[in-house]
Every structure is written in C-alpha cells, then in structure tokens.
C-alpha cells in the first residue's frame, strides 16, 4: 500500500495516547510549539502524564492547558519559572506538591532525548558537576575532568511542529522551528507532527530536514499557530 | 565618580570580542554587547535555540514568530547565518566550539565559580536553561554585572552563597566599577573606575583583590542607560 502518513483530524493524530503516557513537546522561544495538537490532547484528557518539554511556563505554548487541567504528574524540563510576579499554572501546582519536577541543563535535556532516540542508554557530561545536578548521579573522571552520568529519556508520543510535510512524513522546518523536534521524533514510539501544509508530492531531497521514517502521523493545520492562551 | 550604566558595561565587554570569534550572549546586560561590537570585527553570535549568526532585532514589519533567539526576541539573520536543531546547538556548546560566552551573574567566586541561575527567590520555579552547559564548556566565560547588589552587598566573593551554575569557569568579570580577571591566585584588577580608590573598590568586594602592574582607568563613551 502506498505510504501516506497524513491524517485528517486531531483525533486521528492522537489516537492511542493513554493515561500515564510520556509526552514530548517541542518548541522554544515561541517557535515550533505544536499548539493545535497540545490543545487537542488537553481536550482528549489522558491523565497521569509525564511531560518532557523545555519550558513548563512559556507564555506562547499551550502546555499550560495540560497542566491546568490536572493531567500532568511530572515535568522534565530546563525552565520552570513563570515571567510574571504571580505564579504560573505550573509553579502553583508544583508548590502545592501536585506535580513532580526534574529540571535539567538544556544541553543535558536535549542530549538525553537524543540518546533515547539513538539507542544509547546513558552518557557522561561535565555539565552540572559541582552543582546540585550532581546530587544522586554517578560521577566518573574522563581525561582529568569529572563528569556526571545522564540516562536516556524515551517517550510514548512526540508532539512537534514543522512547516511543510509530504505524504511520506518528510519534514521541512522554518527558521528556528526545529529546536527539540527532530530529537523528540526519534525518541518516541509515536511521532506526531502538525504542519502548515502537507503535500501529496514528495519534498525535494534538499528541503528535507527530517526523514519521514522517523514520523508516524502528519496533520495539516494551515497558517494558524494556536498561540498562547 | 559615576559607575558605568548597563549599556556601558556591555560596551566595555564588547571591545574585547576579537575578530572572527563565535560568541554566545546571555540575557540582560550581555545581550546588549551585540550592539557595541566594533565594526572592524566580523563576529558570529550563536543562540542556544540553534541560530549561528543572529542579526539585529527585527523591526515590526520583518518580525517573524519562527525567527527568534533564546530570549524569545524576534531577530534577523546576519549574512552567512545558519540554523541547526537543539542537539547540534548544544554539541557546538559542550564541544567547546564557542569561543566566548558572556553571561550575567548574581555572584562570582575568586576561583571562578559562577552563580547565575537561582537568586533564591522563594516560590518561583527553577530556570537553568543553557547556562550550565555554556559556563561549564566554553573556553572563555566573561561575566557582566553590577559590582554589588542593590543593597550594597558584595557579589565578587571568596565563595558563592547561591546555587552554583558551574565551578572554576569564569575568566573575566566586567562590572560598573572595574574589569577583573580570574586567575589561579584570585581576582586581578585590570581597570578601575576613575575617582574610585583601590581601597574603596576592595571595600565593595568580598574577596582579596590584586591589581595588575599596568592597571588602567575604566572608561566607556556616554551611552543611554539600557
């Protein structure tokens, strides 16, 4: 059967996501948030989720909808501080002890995801040595420098935003849209991408930044980026 | 004796960026250094979200929500710019391919320890971001900050009191009062604000200062406060 990874609804895109899922959400600094899919996941309402997301509090991401709806058990991120004086939805639940938090250096965060997708169970990095990150981690010396061991992160579903896809799931990103997306697509059992446009004809090889072999489902949402609240 | 304002601190640090460098600039004072890099130096600015070659901030007409730096500012690209994903961006950072990173700080210790990610404000969530990777793995780590806290407390210390970002990493500190090198023997002052005595600078510093034999006056052109 000819390959066609395009789906026609968010329900199809998210079919099979269950309670307890580890959900990876891409996006950084306003670029690459899969806000249509995030919103749809909040409406679908699976509970007890672990979110792997760079920021738990970015105002342009709809991640807060999952948090406010009480669907999230744990967040793994590199940033969990809201900008305003008032506490963000994440900070409020975290202070109340209702969400578990693992805050990592951003490079360690992205490399743990990369390792998860690349079949590497753990690695050593000098980042975090001598800081509170070192607590509870194995330390080993390489080439005269102490390093901490970091374990891979794998997920059940990745929600990623790209610009254009083709029927094979090949992806092209705009500007800084890729960020954590490619690594997350490799690290999850189910890789779902929302795109501005999903074409029938294949993308030119030179335009492909992520091969479709790492992508399971593509949902075209047009120009709408579903920003913020 | 007027201490440098934040733009003047950024200007002073920018004068030391060398031709051909690849630099990463943190949020706050460091981000302003991009505006003051001398025009005879061809410099690429890297941002953790994968941009190599950040240009000026975008005007309203050209602003694009997909073209942003790690501080969520809408920017332009300089000629020759490239964009990679976060994995490649941090391979560039951890692999030591960035020549210098300029970071803000709350405290710097005499042996080069840096505290810049958690000011100890109660209730707010943690924000590590790329600071630990940049501080631990970049060959030159320059700090720009005010010499003391708002209440006059020292920020250059024998040992940091706040949570550490990385140990033994800072190589230079640019403040509103001085330019200080971090050496194996501790802080070495290279420039001091005109009208400020060495004793007065020492009194505002929480660790012993030594002064370079060729210690100069710290100067910057008049610039509007950032």
Give pLDDT tens digits for A5-32.
Answer: 999 999 999 999 999 999 999 999 999 9
Quick one: pLDDT at residue A226? 53
**Can you give the three-state secondary structure of chain A, one letter per residue?**
CCCCCEECCHHHHHCCCCCCCEEEECCECCECCCHHHHHHHHHHCCCCEEEEECECCCCCCCHHHHHHCCCEEEEEECECCCCCCCCCHHHHHHHCCCCEEEECCHHHHHHHHHHHHHCCCEEEECCCCCCHHHCCCCEEEECCEEEEEEECCCEEEEEEEEEEEECCCCEECCHHHCCCHHHHHHHEEEEEEEEEEEECCCCCHHHCCECHHHCCEEEECCCCCCCCC
> B16 to chain A, minimum CA–CA distance in Å?
26
Whether chain A has a CB inside 8 Å of the CB on B190: the answer is no
3-state SS class at B62: coil
> B13 to chain A, minimum CA–CA distance in Å?
25
Q: Which residue range forms the structural domain that includes residue A173?
A: 21-103+154-220
- Dist. CA B131–CA A131, nearest whole Å: 12
Does the beta-carbon distance from A130 to B133 stay under 8 Å?
A: no
CATH fold of the domain at B6-217? Glutaconate Coenzyme A-transferase (3.40.1080)
pLDDT digits (tens), chain B, 226 positions: 899 999 999 999 999 999 999 999 999 999 999 999 999 999 999 999 999 999 999 999 999 999 999 999 999 999 999 999 999 999 999 999 999 999 999 999 999 999 999 888 887 899 999 999 999 999 999 999 999 999 999 999 999 999 999 999 999 999 999 999 999 999 999 999 999 999 999 999 999 999 999 999 999 999 998 7
Closest among A188, A107, A207 to B98, alpha carbons compared:
A107
Nearest to A103 among B70, B85, B128 (CB): B128
Q: How many structural domains are present in chain A?
A: 1
Q: Residue B40 class from Cβ within 10 Å (0-12 exposed, 13-18 middle, 19+ buried)? A: exposed
CATH number of the domain residue A65 falls in: 3.40.1080.10
- Dist. CA A161–CA A182, nearest whole Å: 10
Does the beta-carbon distance from B133 to A114 stay under 8 Å?
A: no
Binning pLDDT at 50, 70 and 90, where does residue A83 land?
Answer: confident
- Asked whether residue A46 is domain-assigned, the answer is yes
Does the beta-carbon distance from B130 to A79 stay under 8 Å?
A: no
Nearest to A107 among B93, B166, B167 (CB): B93
- Asked whether residue A133 is domain-assigned, the answer is no
- In the residue annotation, B48 being an active-site residue is answered as yes
Whether chain A has a CB inside 8 Å of the CB on B167: the answer is yes
> B204 to chain A, minimum CA–CA distance in Å?
26
Active-site pick, B48, B107, B146, B191:
B48
Chain A residues touching residue B66 (CB < 8 angstroms) = 30-32, 163, 174-177
Q: Residue A88 class from Cβ within 10 Å (0-12 exposed, 13-18 middle, 19+ buried)? A: buried
B49, two tokens: 């979200």
Chain A residues touching residue B68 (CB < 8 angstroms) = 29-31, 175-176
pLDDT value at A96 more than 70: yes
- Dist. CA B159–CA B207, nearest whole Å: 8
Q: What is the mean pLDDT of chain A?
A: 96
Whether chain A has a CB inside 8 Å of the CB on B76: the answer is no
Question: How large is the ipTM?
Answer: 0.96
- Dist. CA B53–CA B143, nearest whole Å: 21
How large is the angle between the packed helices A106-118 and B86-94, nearest 10 degrees?
A: 120
3-state SS class at B126: coil
pLDDT value at A224 more than 70: no
Closest among B47, B20, B19, B25 to B143, alpha carbons compared:
B25
Which pTM value belongs to this model? 0.96
Quick one: pLDDT at residue B122? 81
CB atoms within 10 A of CB A100: 12
Does the beta-carbon distance from B125 to A80 stay under 8 Å?
A: yes
Residues 105-164 of A with CB under 8 A from B: 105-108, 110-111, 113-114, 125-133, 163
Does the beta-carbon distance from A107 to B133 stay under 8 Å?
A: yes
Quick one: pLDDT at residue A225? 58
pLDDT in tens, A31-71: 999 999 999 999 999 999 999 999 999 999 999 999 999 99
- Asked whether residue A126 is domain-assigned, the answer is no
Domain ranges of chain B: 6-217
Does the beta-carbon distance from B65 to A31 stay under 8 Å?
A: yes
CB within 8 Å of A137: residues ≥ 6 apart: A128, A148, A149, A150
Whether chain B has a CB inside 8 Å of the CB on A103: the answer is yes
- Asked whether residue A78 is domain-assigned, the answer is yes
- Dist. CA A229–CA A159, nearest whole Å: 18
- Find the largest Cα–Cα distance for chain B: 52
Nearest to A79 among B66, B93, B129 (CB): B129
> A83 to chain B, minimum CA–CA distance in Å?
9
Backbone angles phi, psi at A96, to 5 degrees: -80, 0
Where b means 16+ CB within 10 Å and e means fewer, B181-207 reads ebeeebbbbebbbeebeeeebeebbbb
Binning pLDDT at 50, 70 and 90, where does residue A85 land?
Answer: confident
Quick one: pLDDT at residue A229? 35
Whether chain B has a CB inside 8 Å of the CB on A227: the answer is yes
Chain A residues touching residue B113 (CB < 8 angstroms) = 130
């Amino acid at each position: 059967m000819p390959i066609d990874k395009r789906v026609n609804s968010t329900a199809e895109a998210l079919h099979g996501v269950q309670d307890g899922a580890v959900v990876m959400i891409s996006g950084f600094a306003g670029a690459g948030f899969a806000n249509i899919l995030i919103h749809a996941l909040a409406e679908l309402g699976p509970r007890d989720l672990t979110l792997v997301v760079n920021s738990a509090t970015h105002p342009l991401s709809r991640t807060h909808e999952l948090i406010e709806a009480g669907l999230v058990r744990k967040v793994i991120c590199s940033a969990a501080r809201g900008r305003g004086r008032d506490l963000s939805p994440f900070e409020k639940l975290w202070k109340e002890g209702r969400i578990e938090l693992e805050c990592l250096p951003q490079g360690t965060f992205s490399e743990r995801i990369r390792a998860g997708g690349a079949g590497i169970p753990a690695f050593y990095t000098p980042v975090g040595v001598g800081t509170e990150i070192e607590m509870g981690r194995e330390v080993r010396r390489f080439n005269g420098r102490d390093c901490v061991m970091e374990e891979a992160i794998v997920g059940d579903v990745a929600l990623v935003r790209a610009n254009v896809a083709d029927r094979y799931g090949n992806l092209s990103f705009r500007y800084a849209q890729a960020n954590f997306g490619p690594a997350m697509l490799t690290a999850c059992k189910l890789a779902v991408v929302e795109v501005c446009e999903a074409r029938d004809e294949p993308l030119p090889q030179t335009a492909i930044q992520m091969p479709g072999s790492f992508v399971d489902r593509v949902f075209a949402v047009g120009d709408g980026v579903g920003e913020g609240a | 004796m007027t201490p440098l304002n934040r733009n003047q601190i950024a200007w002073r640090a920018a004068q030391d960026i060398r031709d051909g460098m690849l630099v990463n600039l943190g949020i706050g004072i460091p981000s302003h250094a991009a505006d003051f890099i001398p025009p005879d130096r061809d410099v690429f600015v890297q941002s953790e979200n994968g941009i190599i070659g950040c240009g000026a901030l975008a005007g309203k007409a050209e602003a694009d929500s997909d073209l942003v730096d790690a501080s969520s500012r809408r920017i332009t690209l300089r000629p020759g710019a490239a964009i990679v994903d976060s994995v490649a961006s941090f391979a560039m950072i951890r692999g030591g391919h960035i020549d210098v990173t300029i970071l803000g700080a709350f405290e710097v210790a005499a042996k080069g320890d840096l505290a810049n990610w958690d000011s100890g404000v109660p209730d707010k969530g943690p924000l590590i971001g790329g600071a630990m990777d940049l501080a631990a793995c970049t060959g030159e780590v320059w700090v720009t900050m005010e010499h003391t806290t708002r209440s006059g407390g020292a920020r250059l210390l024998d040992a940091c009191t706040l949570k550490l970002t990385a140990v033994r990493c800072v190589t230079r500190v640019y403040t509103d009062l001085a330019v200080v090198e971090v050496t194996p023997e501790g802080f070495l002052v290279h420039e001091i604000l005109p009208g400020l005595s060495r004793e007065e600078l020492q009194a505002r510093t929480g660790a012993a200062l030594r002064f370079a034999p060729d210690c100069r006056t710290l100067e910057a052109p008049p610039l509007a406060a950032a």
